[in-house]
Amino acid sequence: MDHRPQAWGRPRDDVYGAYDASYLHTNGPKTATQSPIVTGTSVIALKFKDGVVMAADNLASYGSLARFTDVKRLRPFLSTSVVGFGGDVSDMQFLDRHLTELAIDEAYEHDNTSSSSETPATAGQLNAANLHKYLSKLMYRRRNSFDPLWNQILVAGFDSSSTPFLASVDLRGTTFTSPSLASGFGAMLAQPIMRRHAATEEDAAKLTRDEAVAIVRECMKVLFYRDARSLDKYSIAVVTRDGVELSEEEQLEKQSWAFAERIRGYGTQTV
């Protein structure tokens, strides 16, 4: 007789045969994301003199269906950085929860900054450059295990020397930085516009906040005109050394669809 605790209350093997625990095993292959399901489209961001502007619309699409129209795809981190997500929304939610845990871990050690003059950078808190490194290692590890998080992520904030920081990481762990960045359709439609104003770091360092915000808003309008999976409601975040200002209820204004009439295949054609 087996007297060990794990046998208590179980039918006896010698009478009933070994316990069939097969139902506890998941049969079939291990599953991993093979393609994104509910997706967000472009995220765009532009550096300026003393910070970074980032924007993304509030739409989550299910294929060609505009499924959720109030989805917030820009997430502030520790009120020093902003993370913008394109791609799969459920993976974004997973990452968002993960970042929440990370922020709480930070609070254990650092949130108790006693003097109000101390900035997060000097208090040794995770800055945007650290966060981007962390996320890129996470994304690369997941691609190595063939279980990618199907996102392209932009991280905006400041680096350890307190200069504006903007970088990207995608589902394969590829990372890069640039004065302006755009994911998805934004890479084709918004990036040329932003590069016209800020081709180099030096150009970007001359832009004022208002100029940068205006350029990004203009880009969001172009994206709405041309990207079929986009929305005229969007979020815009401005990261400066003072913190993060995030507005999630922006509406595209002064739309003019007059140009569409001249383009064959764009809307109703009369000829």
Looking at residues 28 to 47 of the shown chain, list those that interact with another protein (rule: CB under 8 A): 28-30, 32-35
Q: Where in 7-50 does DSSP place strands (E)?
A: 38-40, 43-48
Residue 66 sits in the site that holds another protein (CB under 8 A): no
| Part of the chain binding another protein (CB under 8 A), chosen from 2-10, 48-56, 213-221, 251-259 | 2-10
Rounded CA separation 129/135 (Å): 10
The token duo for 157 is: 């904030």
Is 80 a residue of the active site?
A: no
Among residues 108 and 257, whose Cβ is nearest to another protein? 108
Which one of 33, 113, 119, 177 is the catalytic residue? 33
Residue 70 sits in the site that holds another protein (CB under 8 A): yes
Among residues 35 and 269, whose Cβ is nearest to another protein? 35
Instruction: Please tell me whether residue 187 adopts helix, strand or coil conformation.
Output: helix
Closest approach, Cβ 256 to another protein, in A, equals 28
**Eight-state DSSP code of residue 267:** S
Considering only 76, 84, 87, 173, the residue that binds another protein (CB under 8 A) is 173
Among residues 90 and 240, whose Cβ is nearest to another protein? 90
Q: Give the residue from 152, 159, 178, 183 showing the smallest Cα distance to 167.
A: 178
Rounded CA separation 254/220 (Å): 12
**Eight-state DSSP code of residue 29:** P
Considering only 62, 66, 122, 144, the residue that binds another protein (CB under 8 A) is 144
Looking at residues 91 to 130 of the shown chain, list those that interact with another protein (rule: CB under 8 A): 92-94, 96-97, 100-101, 103-104, 107-108, 111-116
Residue 139 amino acid letter: M
Rounded CA separation 147/259 (Å): 43
Residue 148 sits in the site that holds another protein (CB under 8 A): yes
Give the position of tokens 């489209």: 41
Estimate the crossing angle of helix 128-144 against helix 89-109, to 10 degrees: 130
Decide if 136 contacts 154 (C-beta within 8 A): no
The residues annotated as belonging to the active site are 33
- Interface residues toward another protein, by CB under 8 A: 1-2, 4, 6-7, 10, 13-14, 17-22, 24-30, 32-35, 60, 68, 70-73, 89, 92-94, 96-97, 100-101, 103-104, 107-108, 111-116, 136, 140, 143-144, 146, 148, 168, 172-178, 187-188, 191, 201
